[in-house]
Structure 1
Amino acid sequence: MKIFYTVLLIIFIFFSSSAQFTTKTGLYFSSHETVQDYRTSLKISPDKRLDLEKGMTLSFDISFRPGDGDYGYVVRIIGDEGVHLDLVTHTTSYSTNFWLVNQDSTLFSLGWKDLKDIHYDQWVGVKINIDPLREEVSLTFHDWEQKKKLPQIKGISHPTIVFGAQREPNLVSTDVAPMTLRHIRIADHAGKILRHWELSKHVENLVYDEISGAAAEVLNPVWKIDDHVKWQQVGHLNKKNIVGVCTDDLNNRVFIIGRDTLSIYEINSKQTVSIPYQQGKPYNCRSNTFIYDPLNDHIINYNFDTDAHNVLDIQTGVWSLPGGNCNQLPAYWHHNKAIMDNTLVTFGGYGYYTYKNILLQSSLTDPRWQKMEAKGLIEPRYLSAWGEDTKEGNWYIFGGYGSKSGSQQISPRHYLDLHRFDPKSRTLEKVWNTTIEKRKSKVPASSLVPSENHDGFYALLFDNSQYHTHLQLAKIRKDISEVNFYQDSIPYTFLDTDSWSTLYLNESSQELIALTHHGDEIKLFSQAFPPMLPADIHQDIVSPFHWKERALWLTGILALFIILALVFKRKSKIPLPLHEGLPVSEVKAVVPPRSGGFYFLGGFLVFDSTGKDITSEFTPTLKLLFLLIYFYSARSGKGINSTQLTEYVWPEKTDNSARNNRNVNIRKLRLLLEKTGNVEVKNDNTYWKIVLPDNVFSDYEHLYGLADQVKSFKDNLNDQGLAEFLHYAGQGELCPSVQTEWIDKYKVDLSNRIIDELSVLLEAIPWEKANYPLMAQIASSILKHDVLNEEALQIKCTALYLMGKKGIAKHCYDKFCTEYKNSMGSDFPMKFKSLLKVYS
């Protein structure tokens, strides 16, 4: 067994530097594990532009899962005059598992045995071909294929296609196959792909095909790509007499070391194995002095009071020493630890009113504690994080809480700085320091995880000044003093003498795993890797034109609109934008100009004058420089002075060095901005400012301009300005990936303005059936900027409920309750039915 783990570790190290991480895709269908109201349905109603009278092919990828019920619908193709084809599955039947049914007769049937080594959790390609000219239907499952004559198949020319739960009139069924789908395609009789739904990026209950932008409606969706945005709890353990916790990152195991028993929790299988100690016991210390040794499959228990390591052989349950209590209170609370070249190395910690900054080392073969002499210093601290960049072989230390002198009595503070440690040369050097600690009290969980492209690390940060706090994922860059936070968070109960948390990457499952330990309770959470922001998974409406073609069309349309406006001198009336279930017959989507444009709402995007996306050309430094100058210019018109720029962008540089860096990067920024339409960076008496010319678009400035017109929108709910205002207000937070102190005032000002104006609109709209979709949309936009706005929740849920979308209304309520619990630490006090009583 030891040889096995050694080989496995070597393989893991060999591949870790070149591991490829993929984005999860697909629509997970809630099946028999949930009640009928919450089972998933996907409905595709191809428009009449599709010419399918000569035939069609429906194809998709599907995977099945065990344990969530057996029987259910995969898809139903509904034609004219009651004609329909049903693909049904019974995954645990002994002989036959899949049927294609026409009305009351079975056309084809097959079992797992026909699929040649394909089984649960594997993607299978499925095709259903309808050929009305030959009066023939065929079914393909992986490499299994059969055809059959069916004269009445001519009745399927403009089908409605429903996956999962069936809610069509006279064809109702809530039996949903336990499945996940991706890449749904519709092809014509010649095999040309006309529609393609990837089922990856999406809006809340809609997903658009990649060819024409055709919408498919989803009820109770579970999008796999959302796993990159949200944390999921994957384990909850309560164990008495816990002495310490450590993790096996390679095999996704958590070791809970008790006084008499080792408990091993397998995250993948959610199973716990208990191993009573056969000989010896662990040290009964309070500072979690345990670390897993993957080369030998041992748990090492070290004690700073003695030079003897207590080693547990996991296979036999035998400790190398009898154990016992520590001699005194810990001197190194919340230190960092790692095994480097067969040596246990620790850094920092706190004890006896003193913060530490020393590196200690203890060989696994000769465990005498020694101070590791290193060039360079880090200010004393505890509650810091560290991790190795396996690509370069260096270790990085981030953040913590301590003081320059080491004394708890003399100006303790939060550190959000980054240091590099080269274990070969034993050199410590500061990489950067950020001023974010002026805004929030933040310390990291104990570990750093290298980013997918090794440009930085991921860490979990929390407020250690609160007992009921939250862990929030952040990305720490190596090349710039920037800490960017992700949206979701994890509840965490923190008391520094009784709590511990860590983060690690399980490469086999491509997941980040977060562990929290408080008292007798251990919780585990997972998030798909790499993490994403909500803006990264939002799907824009796809146009059938390429960008260059789109730019020409938009230019022509804009020119025509200007001419008509000059001739008729009147406002153009444009229907409301497509959003949140507004009736399709009454809407026309707002298409923002992309050529020469800056987009800040919901994410940062830049397009040059030809419509090309040049966002990636903004390096972290250029992006920060641009955003600082732009926002300081946009609201006050004055700009930002050179001293402020230096403080935010180059805080560690001398005046001369900062000036040189500023001049070089300003030149780079000017060249880049010229591509967008001759945007200039000006310097006026030491103040830097950016002013956009009329031909360059900014959604931020455009939205402020629209907000000034809200009064006129109240009098005309079909005005173009209202359509645009709702579109941009619904995009979400300003630059959500930028979480630094200076930008907060712009985020708060914009969100407050949007909420105020949307609230004015809501008050002016009467509770009438025709207005329900509009009210739901406005309330949804408010919740984008204030996730805990109870009034907006009430209006949105009530409007959806009265529209007949009861499942969606309940889903919105449940989502709000989860956010409320995570933020406030208590349950939302109003029940769903009580929420609806005011208007229903």
Structure 2
Amino acid sequence: MIAGCGKYWKSVIYTYFLISLFSCSVVSAQGLLFNSNNAFISKRTSYQVFGKNEISVKSHLHVDFELMLWDQNHLGYIFQFGNSENSISLSHLNTHDTSSLNLNIDRVSNKIKAPFDLNKLGRKWVKIAIDLDVAHNAVELNIGGQEFKASGFPFGSTATGNITFGKNASYTEVPDMAIRNVNVVYDDDTENFPLNEWTGNSVSNANGKTIGNVDNPIWLINDSYFWKPLFSKKFADVAGINYCTQPQQLLIYGRDSIYTYSPSSNRLDGQRYVNKHPVAMILGKSIYSEKQQLLYVYEPYDIRDDGFSIAALKLQNLTWKGLGKGQLPTQRHHHNVFFNAAQDTLFMFGGYGSFKYHNSFYKFDQSANEWVTVKFNGDDIHPRFFSASGPAENQDEVYIFGGFGNQSGSQVVGGKEYYDLYRINTKTHQVKKCWSIKLDGKKFVPANNLLLSPDKKSFYVLCYPHEVAKTHLKLYKFAIEDGSFEEVGSSIPVTSEKIETDINLFYNSDSEQFYCSIQEFTDPQHSSIRVLALDAPPISEEAYLKRSQKRNSAAMLWITAGIGCLIMAMGGALLYFKREKFSQKAPVDNELDPETVLADEQQDESVILVKQTQEENVKNAVYLLGEFAVTDSSGRDIKHLFSPKIKQLFLLILLNSKDSRGITSRKLTGFLWPDKDATKAKNLRGVTFNHLRNILSGIEGIDLQFVNDSYLFTTNQSFFCDYYLASDLLDNSSATDAGKQRQLNQLLLRGPIFDDMSEHWLDDYKQSFDEKAVNALQLQLNELAELKKWKEANEIAKLVLSIDPFNDSAFNLRLKALKATKGTEYARQFYRSYCANYYDAFGEEYQHDFEAASK
């Protein structure tokens, strides 16, 4: 502390730090992300701690906050205190070889230049404290425990002004940064600002009183509830994904090359292997060894005669080494794989194949070149697949959780979901059952792996109902002691049409983020991988709704404080993802930039039409065809604000407002809260409506009304909904009106109606819309075929098949169109793909050969 500080001020600071220490243990802010120099000046973030009010400081001013800073390119201002005549600021400057925080007397001189190593710190929260000793014209700057002092500041007898973060009255430059837990102590006053708002421009103190204001905020609590897409990639061959911890990056490996995605640089980079991949991948399974820094890729079954069943990729030089050719008697879909503590023995458990569920343990014996059975003693684990596994607290142990199977192992007698936890000791070969719980009204299986919480008392696991083709993933947090659990984070739409569908959960300890990877297959050789991120610790829907309500009393503070302690260590690397597009190297692998027939289905001129349609309505728009999307009056994508329940409420009213009738309160409650009593349903309905109204306040042209006991939306020309427009075109358009046909086709190119939604009450809307769309498109298709306009006919047939995948007429005409435009062999490839999908869907062969189908 600065010399000359009186005993009174010392006691105030000491008391403050005790309060701060306590409050940090129970109240954790999610934080505020700043729109920086990458945004237009008018869109950059400015946070005025006391709004338009100035404070006067006669003795001391102490300001501390947590800062996350990752700007590599710009000069930017973090903090300013003062007025137009006299102010000080804290700025950041990064040059080619140095990075520093600078404390300045504005427009006069630099007083402190403190090194700030971005590469060493990474994107982590750093505690910053600024002490102003007004009486002695001195300032102390503390950066993560390192102190810097300076004197000669022109404070005078009283320092007056406002505290501003980001863009201020003097400077518009803002670095890439985020802040949280702002604490201000001046003379006799103390204020704490958790910055745990979720929307709006007002900022409240820890007691719920509105004090400050922020322009252009991005509230980070949303990133602890809503999963955010990072990237997606299509493959023309089997590929796989895993996670490397040193450095923290995702590994996406294919037949000829590997892609790495680095959160720290936000880069998706591709490189070819030095030598040939020894394993012909079918499932694309892998496990990463941190100790050896090797990626092991393996196939348990159906190995080609000259191929390896397991191989290791050395990441330092991208060279493969084949390790063995042994395989199991049958396939093992959705098995578990894990290392022992030394990571020199690879174990496999469970899985499904040849109409059997399995519970055997295997280890790979490289010297014998085979998977050998290992006897484990202790508690029995019933045969199953779809279990999750992950390291336990003891390095010799792993956990196995849940799954689907039965006691006999035979699929003939059916199966059931298991909700149990086992501790597996790889050293002593002992199995201990921890618990088994029953779930009423829920059915799900876990994805591949589970992750321990930082305190080792819980584990996180992604779960979903595997028997539903189009469904949603949810992240669960289970207590290791007794199996009690809660759902955290929003849901993730997923399509699980094929048994090869693979889902993984990874964790970045540097940025404190979960990653969900989803690999979905169109057929056994073609897949796509997408990755989403969620800031840790994730929060439940209940906590999110509580946190997003305005808190007006000290009692409410302690309720949220209990929630706040759960989210203390929130990371912020995803912030960076909002700033830049992928910096992606040129394609290095045809399988990663496919040119096969199925890749062509995804990468043609129709994509351009979709983009054109979206760009025409970038503001005040709702899209229900294809992926759900909403933009506000500034054109910002705000779909992340729609939690599952808010989204359902919004859709129910929107769809029932098309004919201006609306939907009654009783029907809404029956759809959304059927299992709640009247009082609880009313409270939940009120809270959800409040959130919806807050979201709609940012969208022009749509207004929520309550008329004759019914809720409905009234809209004007400022508002756009693709479903509204497409429905009008289908109801009113003439088959010969070329302009309306083009407009309809462009809308339909975005994707099937409600494509990422699985709510049962959407079925009638979907069926009615699809029938009208197919009928309208079929008329176009028949006319184009008669005129032998095969290129156009091919595009319309694709649209029909995207809605009705087994429409015979569209299939036959598309075959003719492909033969005429791309040749017989190309058409045969499409025919074979169609037949494979037909067999998967109906369990029987398609009855017409190629020649008959393409006549």
Which whole-Å CA distance do the structure 2 matches of 1:461 and 1:88 have between them?
A: 46
Which whole-Å CA distance do the structure 2 matches of 1:323 and 1:117 have between them?
A: 40
Which whole-Å CA distance do the structure 1 matches of 2:105 and 2:339 have between them?
A: 60
8 Å CA contact 1:23–1:225 kept in 2: the answer is no
Match of 2:611 in 1: none
1:288 is aligned to 2:288: no
Where do 5+ consecutive residues of structure 2 fail to align?
1-24, 522-526, 566-671, 705-717, 722-753, 767-855
Match of 1:216 in 2: 212
Match of 1:248 in 2: 244
Residues 1:42 and 1:91: Cα distance change in structure 2 (over 3 Å):
same
Counterpart code for 2:681: N
Matched residue of 1:752: which SS?
A: helix
Match of 1:667 in 2: none
Where do 5+ consecutive residues of structure 1 fail to align?
1-19, 542-577, 581-588, 606-612, 614-742, 759-780, 803-809, 814-819, 830-840
Counterpart code for 1:532: I
**TM-align CA RMSD:** 5.0
Which whole-Å CA distance do the structure 2 matches of 1:475 and 1:150 have between them?
A: 54
Which whole-Å CA distance do the structure 1 matches of 2:492 and 2:49 have between them?
A: 36
1:176 is aligned to 2:105: no
Selected match of 2:264 from 257, 263, 268 = 268
Matched residue of 1:782: which SS?
A: helix
Identity of aligned pairs, percent? Answer: 19
Counterpart code for 2:64: F
Counterpart code for 1:468: K
Counterpart code for 1:289: K
Residue 147 of structure 1: CA displacement? 3.6
Selected match of 1:452 from 451, 454, 476 = 454
Which whole-Å CA distance do the structure 2 matches of 1:528 and 1:594 have between them?
A: 23
Residue 474 of structure 1: CA displacement? 0.6
8 Å CA contact 1:248–1:292 kept in 2: the answer is yes
Which whole-Å CA distance do the structure 2 matches of 1:181 and 1:796 have between them?
A: 24
Matched residue of 2:681: which SS?
A: helix
Match of 1:674 in 2: none
For each residue in 1:590-621, what CA deviation from the matched residue of structure 2 results, as whole angstroms up to 9, or x when unmatched? 565999xxx8xx8999xxxxxxx9xxxxxxxx
Matched residue of 2:108: which SS?
A: strand
1:379 is aligned to 2:389: no
Higher mean displacement: 454-463 or 276-285 = 276-285
Residues 1:263 and 1:487: Cα distance change in structure 2 (over 3 Å):
closer
Residues 1:796 and 1:439: Cα distance change in structure 2 (over 3 Å):
farther
Residues 1:172 and 1:239: Cα distance change in structure 2 (over 3 Å):
farther
1:127 is aligned to 2:125: no
TM-score (norm 2): 0.55
Residues 1:435 and 1:272: Cα distance change in structure 2 (over 3 Å):
same
Residue 485 of structure 1: CA displacement? 0.8
Match of 2:36 in 1: 31
Which whole-Å CA distance do the structure 1 matches of 2:118 and 2:175 have between them?
A: 21
For each residue in 1:391-419, what CA deviation from the matched residue of structure 2 results, as whole angstroms up to 9, or x when unmatched? 37432221222234333332233222223
Match of 1:524 in 2: 531
Matched residue of 1:497: which SS?
A: coil
Which whole-Å CA distance do the structure 2 matches of 1:793 and 1:114 have between them?
A: 39
For each residue in 1:770-821, what CA deviation from the matched residue of structure 2 results, as whole angstroms up to 9, or x when unmatched? xxxxxxxxxxx3346xx6x5x775468679999xxxxxxx9xx9xxxxxx99
Which whole-Å CA distance do the structure 1 matches of 2:755 and 2:132 have between them?
A: 49
Counterpart code for 2:538: P
1:21-170 pair list within 5 angstroms:
26-36=31-41, 38-45=43-50, 52=56, 54-61=58-65, 63=67, 65-67=69-71, 70-77=74-81, 83=85, 85=87, 87=89, 89=91, 91-92=93-94, 98=102, 100=104, 105-108=107-110, 111=113, 123=126, 125=128, 127=130, 129=132, 131=134, 136=137, 140=141, 143-148=147-152, 150=154, 157=160, 159-166=161-168
Match of 1:310 in 2: 311
Residues 1:603 and 1:384: Cα distance change in structure 2 (over 3 Å):
farther
8 Å CA contact 1:60–1:182 kept in 2: the answer is no
8 Å CA contact 1:513–1:527 kept in 2: the answer is yes
Counterpart code for 1:504: F
1:410 is aligned to 2:413: yes
1:753 is aligned to 2:754: no
Counterpart code for 2:178: T
8 Å CA contact 1:112–1:119 kept in 2: the answer is no
Residue 272 of structure 1: CA displacement? 4.2
Higher mean displacement: 173-182 or 465-474 = 173-182
1:782 is aligned to 2:688: yes
Match of 1:337 in 2: 337
Counterpart code for 1:378: I
For each residue in 1:307-341, what CA deviation from the matched residue of structure 2 results, as whole angstroms up to 9, or x when unmatched? 963333444444334999x9999611111111225
Match of 2:569 in 1: none
Residue 508 of structure 1: CA displacement? 4.0
Residues 1:99 and 1:371: Cα distance change in structure 2 (over 3 Å):
closer
8 Å CA contact 2:471–2:758 kept in 1: the answer is no
8 Å CA contact 1:33–1:69 kept in 2: the answer is no
Match of 2:254 in 1: 258
8 Å CA contact 2:309–2:327 kept in 1: the answer is no
1:465-504 pair list within 5 angstroms:
465-504=467-506
8 Å CA contact 2:27–2:562 kept in 1: the answer is no
Match of 2:812 in 1: none
Which whole-Å CA distance do the structure 1 matches of 2:116 and 2:698 have between them?
A: 49
Kindly tell me the number of residue pairs found equivalent between the two proteins.
564
Residues 1:539 and 1:109: Cα distance change in structure 2 (over 3 Å):
farther
Selected match of 1:389 from 389, 392, 398 = 392
Residue 347 of structure 1: CA displacement? 1.2
8 Å CA contact 1:476–1:482 kept in 2: the answer is yes
Matched residue of 2:682: which SS?
A: helix
Which whole-Å CA distance do the structure 1 matches of 2:561 and 2:333 have between them?
A: 39
8 Å CA contact 1:310–1:321 kept in 2: the answer is yes
Residues 1:317 and 1:76: Cα distance change in structure 2 (over 3 Å):
closer
8 Å CA contact 1:235–1:270 kept in 2: the answer is no
Between the two structures, name the one with larger relative contact order (CA 8 Å, sep ≥ 6): 2
8 Å CA contact 1:187–1:193 kept in 2: the answer is yes
Matched residue of 1:753: which SS?
A: helix
Which whole-Å CA distance do the structure 2 matches of 1:432 and 1:62 have between them?
A: 40
Residue 346 of structure 1: CA displacement? 0.9
Residues 1:258 and 1:208: Cα distance change in structure 2 (over 3 Å):
same
Residues 1:296 and 1:47: Cα distance change in structure 2 (over 3 Å):
closer
Which whole-Å CA distance do the structure 2 matches of 1:749 and 1:238 have between them?
A: 47
8 Å CA contact 1:71–1:88 kept in 2: the answer is no
1:399 is aligned to 2:406: no
Match of 1:319 in 2: 320
Matched residue of 1:377: which SS?
A: coil
Residue 430 of structure 1: CA displacement? 3.8
Which whole-Å CA distance do the structure 1 matches of 2:57 and 2:148 have between them?
A: 26
Counterpart code for 2:332: Y
1:422 is aligned to 2:425: yes
Which whole-Å CA distance do the structure 2 matches of 1:373 and 1:487 have between them?
A: 39
Which whole-Å CA distance do the structure 2 matches of 1:508 and 1:126 have between them?
A: 23
8 Å CA contact 2:80–2:87 kept in 1: the answer is yes
Matched residue of 1:488: which SS?
A: strand
Which whole-Å CA distance do the structure 2 matches of 1:498 and 1:86 have between them?
A: 60
Residues 1:509 and 1:165: Cα distance change in structure 2 (over 3 Å):
closer
